[in-house]
Amino acid sequence: MTADPAQKDLSKTAYDHLWMHFTRMSSYENSPVPTIVKGEGTYIWDDKGRKYIDGLAGLFVVQAGHGRTELAEVAAKQAKELAFFPIWSYAHPKAVELAERLANYAPGDLNKVFFSTGGGEAVETAWKLAKQYFKLIGKPTKYKVISRAIAYHGTPQGALSITGLPGLKAPFEPLVPGTHKAPNTNIYRAPHYLEGPDGTVDPEAYGRWCADQVEEAILFEGPETVAAVFVEPVQNAGGCFPPPPGYFQRLREICDRHDVLMVSDEVICAFGRLGTMFGADKFGYVPDMITCAKGMTSGYSPIGATIISDRIAEPFYKGDNTFLHGYTFAGHPVSSAVALANLDIFEREGLNQHVLDNESRFLNTLSKLRDLPIVGDVRGNGYFYGIELVKDKVTKETFNDDETERVLYGFLSKALFDNGLYCRADDRGDPVVQLAPPLISDQSTFDEIEQILRTSLTDAWAKL
């Protein structure tokens, strides 16, 4: 017999039975596990009744905000009508409607939608599809992938291989062969030889250089062996690297020149995070595939998708050719219904335009923190920003391993939460704090975030 949950110590039970993701479980052997029990708008509450700003939208997910009763009601209604049916050789109305809607939102001729249950699966799908596509058109040696340093693309074996974070990959090696890395677009850490006489880096020249490094990787591996380039509109890991001007246009030219597919990994950047339905729209490029998930339902039910151009899908629609790939819960009726209702909210409330109208205010508010000695850079786009932390603003000297452990993990992560802000303090790359609040956030939210950050970062500096 199990005990009444209301009478149990949830923290102790969590430690005993709930294996939390990307978590040092030993951290909670003698410490309480933070347990979130409620959300409303831009706030969440824990089991002790304490209130926090959700400064990360859960995990770049809760675009429309917490407590949207209408989304819960849509889920319940759909579950009563058709709780589950697979899309393996069958269809159901909500998956069909959602596929059409995503195709209509997507740029160019991206009209085919392959559903998954999350972002990592969407990335896995894109790589497998690219491999088989080139086999079907008579180019079987094209199977490799170029991605960018520090970029995170997911945890399945293929997606993890594409990921550019050695520390995440080492425990699971050997991984899938054929993945290679090029520099990302972190202009704050641009090589010194790209600096002009005044010590600054020209953004357009830097964008050309970054794109050309991808081409160098393609040429080094041999264009006849490279299937795809995977890039995020704004790279997440490392702390929100936006693209320099012209970067994606040049990258598109490079991919076309070498017959390499361009995959826009928009698991975070799609559905309003940058103020557009897709990040490709924000930066004016048309990829061959888009991977997306997270914000499609604002987190009210899990779903992901790979959106594919007609050109890439064409050989799969001939004869007995079949993409031998799928997921049991992909295109789930409840998730599809919730996604449609969530996208209705986007249109009815103008969430994308709200982000576009307020992104500069958010950036300007966070940029006030530049007066702190620990803040080296503030960067990002839309409602997606990173604050890079340094020991020396002039030299851009970063933390050593001991300081990262002691200050970032040992102090700052907990201090931010204790001060009422849920966000991410991360060292995948150089130490950063990431902010990505729900898209309904306004100036009052920005001000509250800035004040908590100011207090916490000032205290963190004293710990160095």
Tens digit of each residue's pLDDT (9 = 90 or more) over 186-243: 999 999 999 999 989 999 999 999 999 999 999 999 999 999 999 999 999 999 999 9
Instruction: Pick the closest to residue 169 from 118, 237, 117 (CA basis).
Output: 237
How far apart CA 47 and CA 52 sit, in angstroms, is: 12
Write the burial class of residue 371 (CB in 10 Å: 0-12 exposed, 13-18 middle, 19+ buried). Answer: exposed
Instruction: Pick the closest to residue 354 from 461, 445, 256 (CA basis).
Output: 445
Long-range contacts at 103-106 (CB < 8 A, ≥ 24 apart) = 103/307, 105/277, 105/278, 106/278, 106/290, 106/307
Would you put residue 299 in left (φ > 0), alpha (ψ -120 to 50) or beta? left
pLDDT of residue 429: 86
Instruction: Pick the closest to residue 132 from 142, 124, 123, 122 (CA basis).
Output: 142
Do the Cβ atoms of 438 and 58 come closer than 8 Å? no
Looking at residue 209, its amino acid is W
pLDDT of residue 464: 85
Instruction: Pick the closest to residue 322 from 157, 129, 159 (CA basis).
Output: 129
How far apart CA 39 and CA 45 sit, in angstroms, is: 6
Cβ neighbours, 10 Å, residue 90: 8
pLDDT of residue 30: 87
Instruction: Pick the closest to residue 174 from 159, 157, 191, 162 (CA basis).
Output: 157
Structure token digits, residue 33 = 């596990």
Helices 93-105 and 333-349: crossing angle in degrees, nearest 10, is 40
Do the Cβ atoms of 439 and 347 come closer than 8 Å? no
Write the burial class of residue 227 (CB in 10 Å: 0-12 exposed, 13-18 middle, 19+ buried). Answer: buried
pLDDT per residue as tens, the chain (464 positions): 454 555 568 888 999 999 999 898 998 988 899 999 999 999 999 999 999 999 999 999 999 999 999 999 999 999 999 999 999 999 999 999 999 999 999 999 999 999 999 999 999 999 999 999 999 999 999 999 999 999 999 999 999 999 999 999 999 999 999 999 999 999 999 999 999 999 899 999 999 999 999 999 999 999 999 999 999 999 999 999 999 999 999 999 999 999 999 999 999 999 999 999 999 999 999 999 999 999 999 999 999 999 999 999 999 999 999 999 999 999 999 999 999 999 999 999 999 999 999 999 999 999 999 999 999 999 999 999 999 999 999 999 999 999 999 989 889 999 999 999 999 998 888 999 999 999 999 999 999 999 999 999 999 999 88
Structure token digits, residue 88 = 């393996």
Q: What length does the chain have?
A: 464
Angle at 364 between CA 295 and CA 232, to 5 degrees: 35
In a 13 Å sphere around the CA of 193, the CA atoms on its Cβ side amount to 1
Q: How far is CA 414 from CA 141, 172, 406, 417, 449, in A?
A: 49, 29, 12, 5, 15
With a CB cutoff of 8 Å and minimum separation 6, the contacts of 450 are 365, 366, 368, 369
